[in-house]
């Protein structure tokens, strides 16, 4: 199976971009990348044999997305490509843009959060991330794109890739991401965080620059439209 059109329609629709070395998937919120320790749950691993599309090895994620985060996920389709992609992400050369709807409105129109994070765990509450001066460096640039009715639409550009970075940073602004059960409260439509676009400066041997953009999931559209206009959410890439 080499032609994406031969995939089941629901999966073919999830492929945002494909080339011999890499592909970009529109990962749905709620789908983990792996089944976890106990197994038995649906995960991206279940999709990989279908996404092999004639390649020698199964494609593999080149970076991580939280289970509850939707949007652009890059997969390497060959071992050399996966290594090259991993080096780009490790070297912070990937340009990642996220969109979020948050509860409340930040105090300024834009800003940069330089807030180190560390992982903490308790028997009662499990693990979570928290700001701490001895944590790992975490930096996020943010910009207000719209607001209405006690909610705001933010563009988030992480310079680092810490676990739950955007979720903790938004909460530290006093504006937790809508539907975030860890650092805010649950809401209809789940957590409103979208990996909106990705840009990778691949070399000519991998087809040059890779750029892709994910649409706003239907379950998130009402909240995004509350803060913007319908034309704001048309995919351009």
Is 114 designated active site?
A: no
Q: Count helices and strands (H / E) in the chain.
A: 5, 12
Residues 105-146 have pLDDT tens digits of 998 999 999 999 999 987 777 888 999 999 999 999 999 999
Give the bridge partners for 133, in sequence order: none
- pLDDT band at residue 76 using 50, 70 and 90 as cut-offs: very high
Q: Cα separation of 158 and 198, whole Å? A: 12
Averaged confidence pLDDT in the chain: 91
Q: What's residue 36's pLDDT?
A: 75
Q: Reply yes or no on whether the pLDDT at 237 is more than 60.
A: no
**pTM attached to this predicted model:** 0.92
Tokens of 95: 């340009």
Between β-strands 110-114 and 117-122, what pairing exists: parallel, antiparallel or unpaired?
unpaired
pLDDT tens sequence across 142-173 = 999 999 999 999 999 999 999 999 999 999 99
Neighbours of 132 (CB within 10 A): 13
Which residue is catalytic, options 66, 68, 180, 232?
A: 66
């Amino acid at each position: 199976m080499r032609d994406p059109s031969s995939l089941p329609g629901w999966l073919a629709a999830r492929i945002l971009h494909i080339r011999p070395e890499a592909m970009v998937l529109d990962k749905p919120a709620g789908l983990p990348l792996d089944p976890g320790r106990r197994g038995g749950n649906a995960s991206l691993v279940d999709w990989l044999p279908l996404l092999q599309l004639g390649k020698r090895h199964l494609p593999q994620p080149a970076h991580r997305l939280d289970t509850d985060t939707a949007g652009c996920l890059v997969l390497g389709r060959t071992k050399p490509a996966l290594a090259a992609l991993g080096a780009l992400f490790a070297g912070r050369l990937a340009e990642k843009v996220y969109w979020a709807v948050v509860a409340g409105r930040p105090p300024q129109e834009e800003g940069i959060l330089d807030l180190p994070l560390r992982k903490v765990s308790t028997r009662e509450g499990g693990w979570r991330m928290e700001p701490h001066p001895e944590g790992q460096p975490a930096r996020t640039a943010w910009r207000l794109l719209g607001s209405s009715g006690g909610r705001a639409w933010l563009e988030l550009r992480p310079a680092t890739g810490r676990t739950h970075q955007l979720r903790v940073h938004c909460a530290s602004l006093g504006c937790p991401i809508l539907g975030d059960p860890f650092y805010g409260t649950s809401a209809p439509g789940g957590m409103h965080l979208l990996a909106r676009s990705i840009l990778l400066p691949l070399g000519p041997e991998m087809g040059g620059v890779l750029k892709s953009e994910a649409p706003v999931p239907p379950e998130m559209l009402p909240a995004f439209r509350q803060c913007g206009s319908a034309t704001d959410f048309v995919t351009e890439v």
